[in-house]
Structure 1
Amino acid sequence: MIQWPLWSICAIFLAAAAAVWWAGTLLSPRVDAIGGKLRIGQAFAGMLLLGGITSLPELATVTTSSIGGNAPLAVNNLLGSTAVNILLLAMADIVFGRGALTSVVAKPATLMQGVLGMMLLGLVAMIVLSGDYPVFGMGAGTIIIALGALLAIRIAARFERRRVWQPAEDAEGSASADDGQSAPDRRSLRRLVLVTAGLGFIILVAGVALSQSADAFAARTGLSSGMIGFVLVAFATSLPELSSIVAAVRQKRYELAVGDIFGTNLFNLMLLLVADLAASGPPVLEQAGAFEALGALLALLMTGCFTIGLLERKDKTIWRMGYDAAGALLLFCGGMLLMARFSS
C-alpha cells in the first residue's frame, strides 16, 4: 500500500473510518439490550461487552503494525486511544448538554474502573522508564500489565454486584440512570448476539484497513510514526467509542457510556501483550521512550479528571461541559504540545 498514490491511501482511510463509525452507532442499543436480557448492570455491560467490541480496531492495528515491524505505531496507537477515549467523554458531555455528565453517573463500579485504569497506566509509565525484560519471547512488563488488566476487569465485575454504598439524589435532583426502566426488548437474544457479532466483524476488518493506510500515510509523508499512532490512528480507531457513547448518552444510558470508555481502556492496555507476541525483536515497551511514557501519564491524568468528577458529582459547567471534561480537554491540548518535543 505504501507505493499507492497518496489520494488512494487517504480514501481507504476515510472509507474504513466511516465503516467503523457506522458500525459503532449500531452497537450501543444492542449491547444495552443484551445486558438487559442477561440482567447485568450498565457499567459492566459497557466495560465488558461494549468495551471489548470497540477495542477491535485497536486489536487489528496492533497486530498488523507489530507483524509489519512497526512496534512504535502499535504502542502509540494503544496509549493514544486510551487518552483519546477519555477526550471522547468530554465530547459526550457536550452532547449531554444539561450539565456535567458525571453528575448523573452514580454507580461505584464505574468509579472503580477508572481508578484501576489509572493504576495500570502508572504501571505502564514505570515499565517504559525503567525498561522491560524478555521472558519467553515476550516482555515481562507487558505480561504483568495484561494480568493486571484481567484482574481489574474481574474486580470491577464483582464490584458491580456489591452494594458498597447506595447513591442518593444530589442537590440538583439527579438520580441514577437505572431508575427509569425502559420497555423490555422483544428481539431474541440469539438475534441480538448475531447482529452484534456482525458489527464487531465489520469493525475488525475496517480496523485493519485503518492501520495499513495510516502506516502508509506516515511512510509517504515522512511524519513521525509515534505522533501518527498517538493522534491520527488513535482518533480513527476510537470512532466506535465516540459513536457508541454518543448513542448511549442520547438514550440516557450514562453508565453504559462511561463504562464503555473505561472498559475499552482496560482492554487496550491488555493488547500491549498482543503487540509483544506479534512483534519480533526486543519487548515493545523496551523500544518505547519518553514519548510513550508521557502518553501513558497524560491518559492517567485525564482519567483522574473524570474520576474526580465521579466523586464530586457536581453539575457546574463551562463551555457546555463539566469542569472535569474541560480539565481533560485542556490536559490533552497541553500534553500534545509537550509530547511534540519528544516525537521522533
Structure 2
Amino acid sequence: MDLEVATCIAFFLLGLAMLVKGGDIFVDGSLWIARKFGISELVIGATVVSIGTTLPELTVSATAAVTGHAGIAYGNAIGSVICNTALIAGLSLLIRPVAVSRRSIANNVIFFFAAAVLYTLSAVIFGGIPRMVGALLLTFFVFYCVWTLEHGGESRVQRVEGSMAKEVVLMILGAAAVYLGSRLVVENAEQFAIWMKVPEEVVALTMVALGTSLPELATAVIALKKKHGALSLGNILGANLFNLVLVSGLASLMVPTPVDLPSVMSDLVVMFFVMLVLTLPILVRGRGSRIQGLVLLAAYGLYAFALYH
C-alpha cells in the first residue's frame, strides 16, 4: 500500500476514535446539565448539544466563504441538513424509535421551516444569501436559543454529583475532541475525493457534509446506547436549524454567498422532503417509527447516487 494512502487511512481512523470518545464525554456532560437545571433532554439536545456538534460545519463553511469556495459553504450547510435528517435520524429511528413531547418538537419544527423558507426565498429573490439576510439568520439563531431555553423546563430538577465547573470543562474537552476528530475525518475524506476527481460541490454535499455531521452521528449513537433518544432527536433538529441560521448566516455575513438556483433546487426539495418525513409522523403520533427510518435511509441513498451519476 502507498505510504500516503496508509497515512491517510490512519489519520481517518484516529479521527473516528476521537469522535467516539469525545462524543461520549460531551453527551454525559449535556445530560448532567439537563438534570441539574430541570431542562428536558430534547431541549438540551436542540440547543447546547447542537451548538457543540455544529462547530465543524461552522468552521468549514466560514473558511470556505472567506477563501472563495462558495460551493463548499453552501453545499456543506444544506448537505449537512440532508445528512443529519436522512442518514443520522434514519439510522437512529431504525435502531430505536423514540417517543417525545409533541409540543416540544412542534416548536423546533416551526423554527426550522420558517428559517428554511427564508433561506429559499433569499436564494430565489437575491440569487444567494446577502449580508442582510445573513444578519437576519443570526438574529433568528439568538432568538431561538433564548426562547427554547426559557421554555425548556419540562423535567424535574435532580440531585447530581460533581460540580458545574468540572462538567463544563469536560464538555469543552469532549467538544474539542469531537471537533478535532471531525477535522481529521473530513480532511482525509477530501483527499480521497481529490484522488477520485470528484467536483467540489458534490464533495461538499456528500463527503464534507457527512464528515462534518459525524459529531451528530457520534452523539446520536452514544445517546441511543445510553437510552436517551430524545437528546439524540433534539440534537438533530437543533443542528439542522443551526446549519441554516448559524452556519449559513455567519458565512454569508462574512462573504455574501451566491446560489445558482436551478442547480440547487433539487437539494432544497430533498431537504424539505426528508424533514417532513422525519417530523410529520412524530407530530401526529408523538413518536417515531422504524418505517420512517427506512424511508429516510432510502432517500439518502437515492440522493447520494443521483449526485454521483
Shorter-chain-normalised TM-score: which range?
0.7 to 0.9
Distance 1:26 1:198 in 2: 8
Q: 1:122 aligns with which of 117, 122, 126?
A: 117
Aligned to 1:108: 103
Q: 2:172 aligns with which of 191, 194, 197?
A: 197
Distance 2:134 2:190 in 1: 23
Distance 1:272 1:113 in 2: 18
The 5-angstrom pairing of residues 183-222 of structure 1 reads 184-222=159-197
Query: When the two structures are aligned, how many residues end up with a matched partner?
Result: 305
What SS is found at the alignment partner of 1:185? coil
- 1:144 has 2:136 as partner: yes
Distance 2:302 2:175 in 1: 34
User: What one-letter code is carried by the residue in structure 2 that aligns with 1:75?
Assistant: Y
Higher helix residue share: 2
Q: 2:299 aligns with which of 331, 338, 341?
A: 331
Distance 2:128 2:236 in 1: 30
Distance 2:225 2:180 in 1: 27
Alpha-carbon offset, residue 21 of structure 1: 3.1
- 1:293 has 2:265 as partner: yes
- 1:20 has 2:12 as partner: no
User: What one-letter code is carried by the residue in structure 1 that aligns with 2:118?
Assistant: L
Checking the alignment, whether the CA contact within 8 Å between 2:36 and 2:158 is kept in structure 1 is no
Distance 1:9 1:222 in 2: 17
Checking the alignment, whether the CA contact within 8 Å between 1:128 and 1:292 is kept in structure 2 is no
User: What are structure 2's unaligned runs of at least 5 residues?
Assistant: none
The 5-angstrom pairing of residues 129-278 of structure 1 reads 129-132=124-127, 139-161=131-153, 184-269=159-244, 270-278=246-254
Distance 1:21 1:129 in 2: 40
User: What are structure 1's unaligned runs of at least 5 residues?
Assistant: 163-177
Distance 2:67 2:11 in 1: 19
Aligned to 1:40: 39
Checking the alignment, whether the CA contact within 8 Å between 1:132 and 1:141 is kept in structure 2 is no
Distance 1:272 1:316 in 2: 29
Aligned to 1:91: 91
Report which of the two structures shows the higher radius of gyration computed on alpha carbons: 1
1:253–1:188 CA distance, 2 compared to 1 (3 A): same
User: What one-letter code is carried by the residue in structure 1 that aligns with 2:144?
Assistant: A
RMSD: 2.9
Alpha-carbon offset, residue 291 of structure 1: 4.0
